[in-house]
């Protein structure tokens, strides 16, 4: 592979990536595949191993096992070549509160061995503009809101042109206004073509910002792919209300559908019996269309008083995957 920017393939690829702390597998054989040009949400409850994974991706922690490939290069062997092409916000940079935002960025940029001093002023200015802080450039950081500090952290990650941005919980601890600011910023950076890998424990946040997601649960990667696919991967429940339960079961049986055990709470309905069928897989959902089920029922003389198609929500899907509730607030 050449030295220029990679335009296809994967921005991040790991195989069997693992990290043990004593007996605990904080990250357990994770195979991540993050395509170029995506906004990739790294979703999981607190403690599921997101930060530990990100630290290994960036060479901040050594892996116990497995491989990391960043922008087409094996890590950590090519750390010094790759890291200048990657902007990161992990655990927030330390800012001097009594220096202005711009002065802090000058300091951080001059501390990096990879940057060109001659272009520093223009790069600081441009980074502040990209995060919407140009008007606060001369203000001392102690007077910044949390959202502004977080955006300054992202500005720091943008001081040089980056192919990949890695943001660890960038909205953590922010009020709704700060959260909105950071989410809008991530979206606008994505429009400019940077691949963004962003961790979050908030499903709604990933749903709003990201094109792709991976879900971590107790150190393991339990799902990944485009959000549209993750949504479709959920089950669909068909719910039929009929006074002709026996005949309806027969028709469903002919279609290869097995009703769920009856819900005792729904049996005494005046409209008849409620019969539910779950279509688990995408293949099953493609093969058995709800309108065809209704057609077969009606053709067989089954009186259909009610028919509903209930798709599992993304939240239901992730709760099912992780066995934990997600914080869907904000």
Ligand X SMILES: Nc1ncnc2c1ncn2[C@@H]1O[C@H](COP(=O)(O)OP(=O)(O)OP(=O)(O)O)[C@@H](O)[C@H]1O
Binding residues (CB under 6 A) for ligand X: these are 21, 26, 44, 46-52, 169, 201
For the bound state, the minimum distance from the C-beta of residue 148 to ligand X, rounded and expressed in Å, comes to 22
For the bound state, the minimum distance from the C-beta of residue 255 to ligand X, rounded and expressed in Å, comes to 43
Cβ-based nearer residue to ligand X, 26 or 32: 26
For the bound state, the minimum distance from the C-beta of residue 328 to ligand X, rounded and expressed in Å, comes to 16
For the bound state, the minimum distance from the C-beta of residue 134 to ligand X, rounded and expressed in Å, comes to 31
Phi-psi region of 76 (alpha: psi -120 to 50; beta: other; left: phi over 0): alpha
Cβ-based nearer residue to ligand X, 213 or 297: 213
Cβ-based nearer residue to ligand X, 21 or 98: 21
For the bound state, the minimum distance from the C-beta of residue 93 to ligand X, rounded and expressed in Å, comes to 17
b/e sequence 219-236, b meaning 16+ C-beta within 10 Å: bbbbbbeebeebebbbbb
Residue 43 host element (H or E)? strand 39-43
Q: How many CA atoms lie within 13 A of 298 on its CB side?
A: 10
Cβ-based nearer residue to ligand X, 156 or 217: 217
Give the C-alpha separation, 118 to 126, whole Å.
14
b/e sequence 136-169, b meaning 16+ C-beta within 10 Å: bbeebbeebebbbbbbbbbbbbbbbebbbbbbbb
- Contact criterion met (CB below 8 Å) for 98 and 144: no
Partners of 19 in the β-ladder: 27
For the bound state, the minimum distance from the C-beta of residue 225 to ligand X, rounded and expressed in Å, comes to 20
Cβ-based nearer residue to ligand X, 16 or 253: 16
For the bound state, the minimum distance from the C-beta of residue 153 to ligand X, rounded and expressed in Å, comes to 16
Nearby residues of 286 by Cβ (< 8 Å), 6 or more positions away: none
Written as six digits, the tokens of 325 are 């509730």
Angle at 83 between CA 80 and CA 89, to 5 degrees: 145
For the bound state, the minimum distance from the C-beta of residue 209 to ligand X, rounded and expressed in Å, comes to 17
Cβ-based nearer residue to ligand X, 15 or 20: 20
Written as six digits, the tokens of 121 are 């002023």
Nearby residues of 113 by Cβ (< 8 Å), 6 or more positions away: none
Cβ-based nearer residue to ligand X, 46 or 281: 46
For the bound state, the minimum distance from the C-beta of residue 70 to ligand X, rounded and expressed in Å, comes to 18
Cβ-based nearer residue to ligand X, 91 or 316: 91
- Contact criterion met (CB below 8 Å) for 168 and 182: no
Cβ-based nearer residue to ligand X, 46 or 267: 46
């Amino acid at each position: 592979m050449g030295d220029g920017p990679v335009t296809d393939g994967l921005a991040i690829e790991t195989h069997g990536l693992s990290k043990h702390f004593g007996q605990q597998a904080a990250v357990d054989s994770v195979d991540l595949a993050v395509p170029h040009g995506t906004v990739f949400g790294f979703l999981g409850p607190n403690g599921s191993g997101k930060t530990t994974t990100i630290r290994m991706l960036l060479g901040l922690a050594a892996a116990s096992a497995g491989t990391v490939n960043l922008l087409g290069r094996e890590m950590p062997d090519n750390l010094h070549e790759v890291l200048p092409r990657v902007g990161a916000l992990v655990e927030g940079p330390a800012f001097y509160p009594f220096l202005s935002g711009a002065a802090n960025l000058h300091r951080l940029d001059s501390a990096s061995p990879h940057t060109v001093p001659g272009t520093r002023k223009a790069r600081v200015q441009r980074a502040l503009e990209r995060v919407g802080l140009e008007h606060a450039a001369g203000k001392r950081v102690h007077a910044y809101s949390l959202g502004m500090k977080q955006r300054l952290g992202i500005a720091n990650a943008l001081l040089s042109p980056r192919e990949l941005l890695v943001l660890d919980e960038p909205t953590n601890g922010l009020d709704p206004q700060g959260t909105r600011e950071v989410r809008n910023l991530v979206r606008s950076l994505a429009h400019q073509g940077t691949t963004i890998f962003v961790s979050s424990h908030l499903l709604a946040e990933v749903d709003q910002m990201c094109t792709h997601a991976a879900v971590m649960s107790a150190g393991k990667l339990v799902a990944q792919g485009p959000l549209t696919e993750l949504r479709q991967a959920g089950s669909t429940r068909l719910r039929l209300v009929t006074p002709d339960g026996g005949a309806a079961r027969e028709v469903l049986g002919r279609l290869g559908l097995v009703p769920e055990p009856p819900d005792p709470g729904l049996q005494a309905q005046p409209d008849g019996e409620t019969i539910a069928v779950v279509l688990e897989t995408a293949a099953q959902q493609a093969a058995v269309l709800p309108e065809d089920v209704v057609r077969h029922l009606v053709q067989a003389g089954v009186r259909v008083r009610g028919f509903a198609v209930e798709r599992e929500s993304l939240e239901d899907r992730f709760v099912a995957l992780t066995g934990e509730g997600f914080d869907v607030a904000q």
